[in-house]
Structure 1
Amino acid sequence: MTGGASRRAQAPRRYRVVGNARAGTVLEMGPDDFARRVGEAFRAAGCEAEVALAHPRDLKARLREAVQDPDAIAVVAGGDGTINGALEVLIESDRPVGILPLGTVNVLGRDLGLMGTLEEQIRGLCQGSPVVMDLGSIDGKLFHSISGMGFFSLMAREREHARRRFPFSRAMAFAFAASRSILFTRPIRVEMEIEGELREVTADAVLVTVNAFDGEDWRRSRLDGGLFEVHVLDTGGLLSRCKAAVSMVTGSWRTSRNLVSYSGTELTLTRRDKRRGHVTFDGEVERRAGSLHYRLLPAALQVIAAREAQL
């Protein structure tokens, strides 16, 4: 091997980080301090990084530039909703991409083993390895982890309001949103077609997850398991919603009598009231009318994980 080839082989990984300038972590630190801290953390982990912060409306364009750079690994920095909005760009990449989770819940970040401080997450990125993951699609709208209606969509909307009301405390915002969601959720009638079998339910919530969530902390052992899970929170009024919320926090939700689960690779959900309803996609909320056709996209994305392909 020549000296030049040896130097190339030993060259550090180069990353292009595109962050949501409106993410809570960025606002708390300030954009300049955030960019500096991220750059220093990459260097400390033996990597190089170019950091750019973009307004949410410009984020896709900046991220597409990073994805098209043949000499860098594109990384999107933001919460689950930011990552959701970036999926249509990320799947254009023919190479692994990275995420830097900056949200409150960070469902996908936890599944990828990217937890802890910002420096620990970045070290995980630099030392991590690519895994393949499935995505979900609802009539062309992509999501990476969770979609739902009823209680879960109300919770997502209330959380956005609470974050503006309590910008100084994520915990207080979350508690405020959860309390209002428990109080004001109303039952919905939903027709479900799963693997060709029809069911009609009256529920406080219907939650669809890409692959199975297990364990106490709502993590997925497999990101490429090739199935949806559908969780139905039976209607039972305020008390049952409180019990279900407690079971989700304590990790006993799998054995909760208020929650029934199904699985399949393709499904359709139809609200029987025919009204436009709120649907959440990884924490982001849209109003949708008519039937929702869920389709699984197996191994649609390569993403860097600080964990084994299967826990």
Structure 2
Amino acid sequence: MSETTAPALETAPAAPPRRFRVIGNARAGTVLEAGPERFTERLEAAFAAAGCAAEIEFLHPRDLESRLRLAIGDEAVIAVIAGGDGTVNGALPVLLECPRPVGILPLGTVNVLGRDLGLLGTIEERIAALCRGEPVAMDLGTINGRPFHSLSGMGFFSLMAREREYARRRFPFSRTVAFAFAAARSILFTRPIMVEMRIGGEHRQVEADAVLVTVNAFDAADWRRSRLDGGQLEIHILDTGGLLSRAKAALSMLTGSWRTAKNLVSLTGEAVTLTRRDKRRGHVTFDGEVERRAGSLEYRLLPGALQVIAARPAEI
């Protein structure tokens, strides 16, 4: 009786490594500290260690849009924008053109969006998380048609963003000193603003030290969102009523206890219109970038507008 030979098991071919094309801001603080060439080598080694292939290019901010658009046009790679929250904000109009998931590599000081995407830790740890991440659909907001990914504000928040940029140039040796300097000046020089607000058919007039509009709720610790696809804008009105109260409110923002502040009123909706009563051009911040704007500010939600690689689920 002949022996029957068991058929050989067929093994599935290994999936090819992910290929990324990283377009980065050469003016990002992390890049300037290390030098573009050395930093590029570090990133290439980190992608290789994570089992991915990457082409990396750091450019002047004025050249980012055209090179990112070329990366998006190559279907063989995953386009990645590397930089801080402001750099990502500026790239959103181009990223929205991509029919495929895109990547974010956070290289800024605060990295609000990077933390929400689970891209934390050292540069190597962020790259490893990006390489193993999966696409999620995240909501965006718009202000008069301009997209933003996390938050926009006026009053204390816009002054803080302006002072932070000034402090970073004045104290390049220490981010902690720069942040403390910016916070102190913002607390001292914030002046109340009178704002008309229309939300959900309701009209109200408020006097506040700050108004902040966020894409979904920053309801988790350390200024993080538990959902990226919650389908709502959250509007926060902060009226501290004095210098000492403003200092306490600023401290609560740093410690993460700001949502329970007694001087804070929070509302939700898919659209809100804010109009300054003084009719002047006021400073408005978009994901850390600051512009002067006149007239009404119309905020709208763009549900699930961007497919992005995340190392966390849409809801945590």
Give the TM-score category using the shorter length.
over 0.9
Where structure 2 has 5 or more consecutive residues not aligned to the other structure, the ranges are: 1-10
Q: Corresponding residue for 2:81?
A: 76
The answer on 1:190 being equivalent to 2:195 is yes
Which of 121, 125, 130 does residue 125 from structure 1 map onto? 130
Aligned to 2:144: 139
The yes-or-no answer on 1:296 pairing with 2:301 is yes
**1:3 equivalent in structure 2:** none
Amino acid at match of 1:53: F
1:187 and 1:235 in contact (8 A); partners too: no
Per-residue deviation, 1:172: 1.2
Q: Secondary structure at the match of 1:161?
A: helix
Supply the AA of the counterpart residue of 1:213: F
Deviation at 1:46, TM superposition (A): 0.1
Q: What secondary structure sits across from 1:105 in the alignment?
A: coil
Contact in 1 for aligned 2:138/2:314 (Cα 8 Å): no
Aligned mates of 1:90, 1:176 — CA distance in 2: 34
| Conserved? CA contact 1:156–1:283, under 8 Å | yes
Match of 2:258 among 253, 256, 263: 253
- Per the TM alignment, residue 73 of structure 1 is displaced from its structure 2 partner at its CA by 0.2
TM-fit CA distance, 1:58: 0.7
SS of match in other structure, 1:168 = coil
SS of residue paired to 1:10 = coil
Whether the 8 Å contact between 2:235 and 2:267 is mirrored in structure 1 is yes
- Aligned counterparts of 2:274 and 2:231: Cα–Cα separation in 1: 19
1:179-218 map, 5 Å = 179-218=184-223
Whole-angstrom distance in 2 between the partners of 1:34 and 1:198: 51
- Aligned partner of 1:306 in structure 2 is 311
Q: Look up the equivalent residue of 2:149 and give its one-letter code.
A: H
Aligned to 2:170: 165
- Runs of 5+ consecutive residues of structure 1 not aligned to the other structure: 1-5
For 1:215 and 1:176, locate their aligned partners in 2 and report how far apart those are by CA, in whole Å: 27
For residues 20-62 of structure 1, the C-alpha deviation after alignment (integer angstroms, 9 at most, x for no partner) is 0000000001000110000100000000000001101111111
Alpha-carbon displacement from aligned partner over 1:112-162 (angstroms, at most 9, x marks no partner) = 000100000000000011111011111111100000000000011111111
Distance 1:8 1:262, change over 3 A: same
Normalising by structure 1, we get a TM-score of 0.96
* Superposed displacement of residue 9, structure 1: 5.3
Q: Aligned match of 2:271 in 260, 266, 275?
A: 266
**Residue 266 of structure 2 aligns to a residue in which SS?**
strand
CA apart distance, 1:218 = 1.2
Offset of residue 215 of structure 1: 2.4
TM-fit CA distance, 1:295? 0.8
CA–CA distance in structure 1, aligned partners of residues 257 and 15 of structure 2: 47
Asked if residue 229 in structure 1 is aligned to residue 224 in structure 2, the reply is no
Contact 2:23 2:68 in 1 (8 A): yes
Residues 202 and 235 of structure 1 are in contact (CA less than 8 Å); yes or no, is this contact kept in structure 2? Answer: no
> In the alignment, which residue of structure 1 is the partner of 2:247?
242
Identity across matched positions, percent: 74
Q: CA deviation at 1:191?
A: 0.6
TM-score, normalised to structure 2, is 0.95
Match of 2:288 in 1: 283
Q: 2:314 is paired with a residue of what secondary structure?
A: coil
**C-alpha RMSD of the superposition:** 1.2
Residues 174-203 of structure 1 deviation map (CA, whole Å, 9 limit, x = unaligned): 111111001100000001111111111100
SS of 2:209's partner is strand
Distance between the aligned counterparts of 1:175 and 1:82, measured in 2? 23
Cα distance between partner residues in 1 of 2:12 and 2:295: 58
Matched AA of 2:221? E
| Partners of 2:31 and 2:174 in 1: CA distance | 15
**Aligned residue identity for 2:207:** T
Paired residue for 2:7?
Answer: none
How far the C-alpha of 1:8 sits from its partner, in A, is 7.7
SS in 2 for 1:108: helix
- Distance in 1, Cα, partners of 2:12 & 2:26: 35
